[in-house]
Amino acid sequence: MEGASQNPIPIAILLTLAVIFLYLHFTNGSGMMRLLLAGVLAAAAAVLLLPSFRPDLPDFMENLPKIQLGLDLQGGTHLLLEVKLPAAVSNALRRRADDLNRALTQNKLATGIVTQNPDGSVTFALKNPDERSAFLALADKSFPDLVLSTVNSSGSPTFKLAFQPREEIHISNNAMDQALETIRNRIDQLGVRETTVEREGDNDILVQLPGIQDPERAKELIGRTAVLEFKLIDDKNSLADALKNGPPPGDEILHGPIQAGGAEPYLVESPVLMTGDSVTDARVRPGSSLEGPYVEVHLDSRGAETFASLTANNVGRRLAIILDNTVYSAPVIKEPIPGGDVQITGNFTFEEAHELAIVLRSGALPAPVEIIEERTVGPSLGRDSIHQGELSFVVGAAAVLIFMAIYYSGAGLLADFGLTLNILLLVCVMAALQATLTLPGIAGIVLTLGMSVDANVLVNERMREELRAGKSPREAVKVAYERAWSAIRDSNISTFVAGLILFQFGTGPVKGFAVTLCVGVATGIFSCFVVTRAWYDFKIQTRRLAKISV
């Protein structure tokens, strides 16, 4: 049910007819009018359901809502992603170390050398040992979320940085929330209908993409971290020496996109001058015939101000535009660039540029994600599931309808009309909400059918008892509906509340079952209790209820 969108027109039609019907019911309005409304309601529901079962319809009916089939019915892709939360903490720690360096500069102290080790830990080495006390005082005052432990006290004092335990938990929780929202935004831009994107456990995210049989493009788009960074190219040290002997302190070697001749290396200064947090929009723009399309990035006011200052202070130097540790372009800053517009070039194809724009628009993942479980449900399995679900529903419904007609005679046939209308309204509401129908949802429909039968059985049995007690048909109808109401009301309310709890705390298929159950409770009470009463009221008002076939 998740991600269901609403089409207001069919919902308005159904609600209007139902409200008029209920008004006439509770004000003892015309039984004939209620019967006509019941017929119109059934006809409207049937028409609204046509697009879900008949693809070859006139053009004017194309905009009517359709029932969406879930992953288990139409096939698709199931992915379970693990968010690497330790990497999110490490990335946040590295950014905090860069903030610490900027604070040192603002306080006219020498900046330190930040090193991120392979295990994710970050060390901070002071260049001037005499500033140790001033550094510790600044860190204690302005960075209370950090814990500094001494690694080396001789020579250049070196400290290992870590977050306070409470801060680390806060960063991990925020990382999961951001990853969930980012992945959901990216999938939405793929144009896939009725997807499921939800958290499972402490660090996993469940993704279901109905109808997607080739998941490679989706996997690539979902898994891209999309960390956009701006760093300066080191033009003082030799790239060849760095490739041979390793980068000097404070530098790192990054590469450009893999081309036919390999990936071009760059010697980049490690400090991050700006990140992509300020990106407000990213669009593909046509480029020259040689370079192909490029991605135009728009920054917010804060980002535009930072970028203008960055370019003004580094005129003549090369600025590396880095996405996920890949240098896509490294242009020379010829002049300050105000306005917050940045171009990312990289000999992209249009599809590559389009997907890059998507990940930049939807935001960066706070940490890498790894696919730990992948299943592709083929359409043939979906068709088998639909067939089995349809068969179970048809057999069950037919058995119930035949039993009611035989056991309760005329009253049973009237109950069958209510049961049929109940299923029509239930499925129609599902279509109007454009909700996703899954196998558990079909189970919910079958359960709803059983509850509707229970309501009719209570009413019919009460009628039998009253008739045996010598009551007139009119009195038997009145007493039967009034006395059966309390039991029907209580059982349906408890079922509805259980459905709400399942929807609130359940995941995926459980939510689909819960929504079907809740909608079925409402349509069941209306069609199998209120609508069937209209027939008896019509007979009473026309003084033709001389006998009840029950």
Per-residue buried b or exposed e for 174-206, using 16+ beta carbons within 10 Å of the residue's own CB? ebbebbbebbbebbeebebbbbbbbeeeebbbb
Nearest alpha carbon to residue 112 among 316, 270, 254, 253: 270
d(CA 45, CA 81): 40
The CA angle 151-154-158, to the nearest 5 degrees, is: 35
Distance, CA of 372 to chain centre: 19
**Is the separation of the CB atoms in 404 and 412 below 8 Å?**
yes
Q: How many residues does the chain have?
A: 550
| Torsion, CA 217, CA 218, CA 223, CA 228, rounded to 10 | 70
DSSP string, 359-401: HHHH---SS-EEEEEEEEE-HHHHHHHHHHHHHHHHHHHHHHH
d(CA 337, CA 296): 14
For residue 328, the surrounding DSSP H or E stretch is strand 326-329
154, with CB counted inside 10 A (0-12, 13-18, 19+), is: exposed
Nearest alpha carbon to residue 93 among 110, 117, 60, 69: 117
Nearest alpha carbon to residue 300 among 318, 326, 279, 315: 279
**CATH class as words, domain 8-70+378-541:** mainly alpha
**Is the separation of the CB atoms in 388 and 73 below 8 Å?**
no
Pick one of 3.30.450.20, 3.30.1360.200, 3.30.2130.10, 3.40.50.720 as the CATH number of 173-366.
3.30.1360.200
Supply 110's token pair: 């020498």
DSSP string, 112-134: PEEEE-TTS-EEEE-S-GGGHHH
What confidence score (pLDDT) does residue 59 get? 62
DSSP string, 9-20: HHHHHHHHHHHH
- The three-state (H, E, C) secondary structure of 499-546, written as one string: HHHHHHHCCCHHHHHHHHHHHHHHHHHHHHHHHHHHHHHHHHHCCCCC
Handedness of CA 320, 239, 263, 250 (dihedral sign): negative
432, with CB counted inside 10 A (0-12, 13-18, 19+), is: buried
349, with CB counted inside 10 A (0-12, 13-18, 19+), is: exposed
**Is the separation of the CB atoms in 256 and 263 below 8 Å?**
yes
Half-sphere exposure of 474 (CA within 13 A, CB side): 10
Half-sphere exposure of 518 (CA within 13 A, CB side): 16
Q: Sheet containing 326-329: which strands, arranged edge to edge?
A: 265-269, 251-255, 326-329, 319-323, 228-232, 274-275
**Is the separation of the CB atoms in 38 and 44 below 8 Å?**
no
What confidence score (pLDDT) does residue 3 get? 38
The identity of residue 463, as a single letter, is M
Walking along the chain (550 residues) 10 residues at a time, the average pLDDT comes out as 48 75 73 80 79 66 68 76 89 86 87 82 87 90 89 81 91 87 76 73 84 71 76 92 89 83 86 81 78 82 86 90 84 84 77 76 78 75 66 82 89 88 84 74 82 87 89 88 86 89 77 84 83 84 80
| Torsion, CA 345, CA 349, CA 353, CA 356, rounded to 10 | -100
DSSP single-letter state for residue 262: B
d(CA 113, CA 132): 14
For the chain, residues classed under CATH 1.20.1640.10 are 8-70+378-541
For 87-165, CATH gives: 3.30.70
Nearest alpha carbon to residue 536 among 528, 545, 527: 545
Nearest alpha carbon to residue 71 among 194, 220, 205: 194
For residue 323, the surrounding DSSP H or E stretch is strand 319-323
d(CA 96, CA 98): 5
What confidence score (pLDDT) does residue 4 get? 39
For the chain, residues classed under CATH 3.30.1360.200 are 173-366
DSSP string, 47-93: HHHHHHH-S---GGGTTS--PEE-HHHH-EEEEEEEE-HHHHHHHHH
Supply 517's token pair: 């159950």
For the chain, residues classed under CATH 3.30.70 are 87-165
